[in-house]
Every structure is written in structure tokens, then in C-alpha cells.
């Protein structure tokens, strides 16, 4: 604990507001949460393409990419998942401070972790519930993860052997089993644009 006494934040001359002015928009963290196979990554990718067309400065963080690199040392226990979320949140916060619109596509199954992220990000956090029934997610499962989880080959798998706590009051709620991808993106962009305008 004593070592923390020597950690002192440096006061840099360029601040978040300066970056907002240069970018022409406010930063935000669009957090896509939902079951595996619900369409989080597909939707984040399509939303980023639309924001890019609008000259927004963006970056997408995806669960598989983070697990292969930054968080490759973490397991899928409840503790491992909590630390996974904490690290991703800290990275997303830094990217928002850099002025970016961060699109984060993660199962993030627990409400307390998503509330932690909202507190960490402040007003720029946008929770997007990418909602699809479990049977639809299983049908879409190109990785075969649900089958492995049902056969006991994967433990702590969300939706099968580990719970998914659906957001009670998300900022944006899209049903990907009912809406085509283009329409879902339209809904998201329509609700995000007012938040990022200077």
C-alpha cells in the first residue's frame, strides 16, 4: 500500500475537451452486451462503419481479441470474468479520454459489472442490450460453443452453466431475432448521435 503514495497524476496540457473540439464530437463507450451469438460483434462492426461514414473517430474492442492478448492470463470463473471486465473498462476509459467513440462487444453477463463500468465511464457510457432468445443464439452458433457447453466440455458458459443477467433498463434495446442488422444499426445511430454532438 505504501508504494501507492508515490503515484501522482501528471497534469497534461491537452485535455479531453481539446480532443473533442478537434474530433468534432464527444467521446462515448457503446457497450454491447448479450448472449454469445446474439449479434454483438456483428452489430458493433456495422455501427462502427456507419459512425466512420459520419467522420467519427472510432475503435471496436471485441471479446475474443482481448482474450487472445491483454487478458490471455484470465480464466472464465466469476473472479476471472470480473477482472476481465475491469481491465476492459480501464482500457475503454483511456480510449474515451483520447476522444474516441469506443464500441465494446462483450457478453458481460453480470449487472454489477455493467454498473461498475457505467460508474467508471461516467455520462459517456451507453449500454446496448443485444437481445436474442437462447434457442436463436444456439442456432447461430458457428463456433459450436453451446454444443460443447451442453456436452460438459466448457464450464461456466453463459446461458447454459452460468447465468446472464439481462439489463433491466438499458440505454438501447435491440431484438436481433426480430430486426435486420441495418434496422438495428439505424436504431442505435439514432439514439447515439444526440449524445456525441458538441
Residues with a catalytic annotation lie at 108
Classify residue 83 by burial, with Cβ atoms within 10 Å: 0-12, 13-18, 19+: middle
Phi, psi of 173 (to 5 degrees): -130, 120
Phi, psi of 175 (to 5 degrees): -95, 100
Classify residue 149 by burial, with Cβ atoms within 10 Å: 0-12, 13-18, 19+: buried
Question: Minimal CA–CA distance to 176: which of 168, 167, 166, 187?
Answer: 187
Phi, psi of 62 (to 5 degrees): -125, 145
Amino acid at each position: 500500500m505504501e508504494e501507492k503514495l508515490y503515484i501522482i497524476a501528471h497534469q497534461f496540457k491537452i485535455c479531453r475537451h481539446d480532443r473533442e473540439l478537434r474530433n468534432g464530437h464527444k467521446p462515448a463507450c457503446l457497450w454491447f452486451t448479450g448472449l454469445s451469438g446474439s449479434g454483438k460483434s456483428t452489430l458493433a462492426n456495422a455501427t462502427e462503419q456507419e459512425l466512420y461514414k459520419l467522420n467519427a473517430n472510432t475503435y471496436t474492442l471485441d471479446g475474443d481479441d482481448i482474450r487472445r492478448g491483454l487478458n490471455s492470463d484470465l480464466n472464465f470463473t466469476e473472479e476471472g470474468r470480473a477482472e476481465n471486465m475491469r481491465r476492459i473498462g480501464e482500457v475503454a476509459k483511456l480510449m474515451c479520454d483520447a476522444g474516441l467513440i469506443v464500441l465494446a462487444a462483450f457478453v458481460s453477463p453480470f449487472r454489477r459489472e455493467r454498473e461498475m463500468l457505467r460508474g467508471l465511464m461516467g455520462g459517456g457510457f451507453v449500454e446496448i442490450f443485444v437481445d436474442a432468445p437462447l434457442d436463436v443464439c444456439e442456432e447461430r452458433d458457428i463456433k459450436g460453443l453451446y454444443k460443447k457447453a451442453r456436452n460438459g466440455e466448457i464450464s461456466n458458459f453463459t446461458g447454459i452453466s452460468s447465468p446472464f443477467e439481462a439489463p433491466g433498463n438499458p440505454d438501447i434495446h435491440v431484438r436481433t431475432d426480430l430486426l435486420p442488422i441495418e434496422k438495428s444499426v439505424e436504431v442505435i445511430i439514432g439514439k447515439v448521435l444526440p449524445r456525441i454532438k458538441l
